[in-house]
Amino acid sequence: MTPTAAGRVDPQLDAASLYTLLRLALAEPPSNLVADWRALCDLAERERLLGVIWQRSASAIRSAAPHAISVDWRRRAVLLGLHVEQQLELLVRCLDALSAAGVNAVVIKGAPLAQRLYGDFTARPTLDIDLYVPVTERAAAARVLGELGWRHTSGVAPEEENFHRTIGGHLFRLEVHSTALDDPLLHRVVVPVEYAEVVVDGHELPAHTGRYLPAYLATHLAKHNEKPVLWALDFHALWSTLPEADREGAVDAAREVGLGRHLEWGIALARDIDACRGSFDAARSALSHLLSALATRGDAMRTLRLMSFASSPIAALSVVAGRIWPVAWRQSWRDAPEYFLRRAIRWTYRHLVFEHPKATADRVASRTVVPLNADGATARLREGLRTAPVWVAPADGAMEPAIPVFGLARVVSAEGRSIHSGDVVVVRGEVGQCTLQRVVSSGDGGLRLRADAYFKRESLVSRAQLLGVCDLVDVGGEVVPVAQRPHGSLGLLRAIVTTRIGAMARPRSI
């Protein structure tokens, strides 16, 4: 265990720690295997079990752990609970506004799930608010959220959209989905989103529920690279409280949509968790299986896992197809050659040419930088451009490699300037977000734009949405005109060839 800058440790999830955490989360007496309660507390927070454990085993922690640890555990659990309460307040406002606008939204996981599984909506921490909205209502939903102060940060319907809002120095995140699983590897799996009105802290919320919920929770766990123990405990808590008839219905529902093996995997994990009610020696095999199932995996292993759970060879091939050519990019099969050529070129560029982040403190300190993903970015940019160019930090990697996410771009006023194809501009989106994009064409109807990192995904904006024009890019302290930065397949190929020729020309040391 390695100390961190904050004085905590970087805990490792081993069999003894997992066993103790699960016993505490199951309201069982803690094991005698705890060597370091501080590390266990840190581990509980990392695995998102802090609140559940404190709710179920506070008295056991007070009696077994050092006083300072139990006080700190309680403090952290209370702070997490306060954050969840704030999330609930924001969620209620969003649902009220969406309903008034005729938008149908369903809460995925979050406070209703915590209320159902643990009897206390503050016990289960959530990193973001998840809403399911029918794809036909996504534009209206984005408009309503923008009016409420949520800033769009990434994503385009029908894919997942992300929104941020900062209140009192705290960042809150909200995600909008139009499919339950929202994963390109599972694009062929259609899971109906059933819901029921659930009362949480006096508020009626449309909460995700029904026959498909167990299969959804199991698949949600299986499809992620990083899987906190909380998500396995969530499934265990749901499955262990279902009557036998509901379990049979859930199994039938999972098989109907091709998630039968995903559910079987989740049920096996639930049995492993139950094994921790017994002795450590008796639970060794179950703990080994849990550690393997919950270990962080790369994309290749994630793909193989989902292929192994597929209901048929065709379903397994669809997982591979979703990895190789995501559905979002399939506008036409005629685009396949160009897509794969672009992908191969970008892969080669990333491995041979692409710059890496360097120390930026000095260059950032020497100038005022406006992060495009910050609240008030539009107002700050407009105000600054009245007198001088403004340096901005990209909101994401949409303009890579021309403008890396760790780079800076200088923006000048667009007033009095002619806008041409190939120019890089900053525009304000319909829901208030600021983005860097490249001009595809310019005409009386407005500007047709596209981000370099996306394949044939264009948007039309009015000139009134134009905030400025990018002229320079700072990458690791090297400032060059944006026109000289590589973009497009030919530009990337040229950079690759130039890099290789330069490497061959350099004298080799003996």
Tell me the CA distances in angstroms from 337 to 6, 317, 341, 398, 471, one per residue in order.
Answer: 50, 20, 6, 22, 33
Residue 78 counted as domain residue: no
Together in a domain, 381 and 410? yes
Query: If residue 442 lies in a helix (H) or strand (E), which one and from where to where?
Result: strand 434-443
Query: If residue 118 lies in a helix (H) or strand (E), which one and from where to where?
Result: helix 110-118
pLDDT per residue as tens digits for the range 135-178: 999 999 999 998 998 888 778 788 899 998 888 878 899 999 99
Give yes or no for residue 361 having a pLDDT over 80.
no
**Contact at 8 Å (CB) between 395 and 372?**
yes
Together in a domain, 459 and 506? no
Give yes or no for residue 477 having a pLDDT over 50.
yes
What mean pLDDT do residues 261-266 have?
98
Select from 480, 346, 350, 373 the least CA-distant residue to 424.
480
Per mean pLDDT, which range of 116-120, 212-216, 375-379, 468-472 is the poorest?
375-379
Tokens of 495: 């950079």
How many angstroms separate the CA atoms of 308 and 170, rounded?
A: 40
Give yes or no for residue 186 having a pLDDT over 90.
yes
Together in a domain, 504 and 424? no
Query: b/e per residue, 37-69, with b = 16+ CB within 10 A?
Result: bbbbbbbbbebbbbbbbbbbbeebbeebbeeeb
Together in a domain, 480 and 494? no
Residue 52 counted as domain residue: no
Give yes or no for residue 1 having a pLDDT over 60.
no
What's the chain's length in residues? 510
Domain containing 428 equals 361-485
Give yes or no for residue 236 having a pLDDT over 70.
yes
For residue 199, the number of C-alpha atoms closer than 13 Å in the C-beta half-sphere is 1
How many angstroms separate the CA atoms of 21 and 230, rounded?
A: 10
Residue 4 banded pLDDT, cuts 50, 70, 90 = very low
Together in a domain, 368 and 446? yes
231 vs 364, residue with greater confidence: 231
Q: Which amino acid is at 13?
A: L
Together in a domain, 412 and 506? no
Together in a domain, 419 and 431? yes
Tokens of 453: 């990192």
pLDDT per residue as tens digits for the range 8-63: 545 688 999 999 999 999 999 988 888 799 999 999 999 999 999 999 999 999 99
Residue 102 counted as domain residue: no
Give yes or no for residue 362 having a pLDDT over 70.
no
- CA 430 from chain centre, in angstroms, equals 22
- CA 476 from chain centre, in angstroms, equals 27
Together in a domain, 346 and 421? no
Select from 315, 300, 302 the least CA-distant residue to 188.
315
CB-based contacts of 490, cutoff 8 Å, min separation 6: none
How many angstroms separate the CA atoms of 378 and 469, rounded?
A: 14
CATH number at residue 431: 2.10.109.10
For residue 118, the number of C-alpha atoms closer than 13 Å in the C-beta half-sphere is 29
pTM > 0.85: no
Residue 439 counted as domain residue: yes
Per mean pLDDT, which range of 73-77, 146-150, 435-439, 474-478 is the poorest?
474-478
Residue 205 counted as domain residue: no
CB-based contacts of 199, cutoff 8 Å, min separation 6: 205
445 vs 76, residue with greater confidence: 76
User: What pLDDT is attached to residue 240?
Assistant: 97
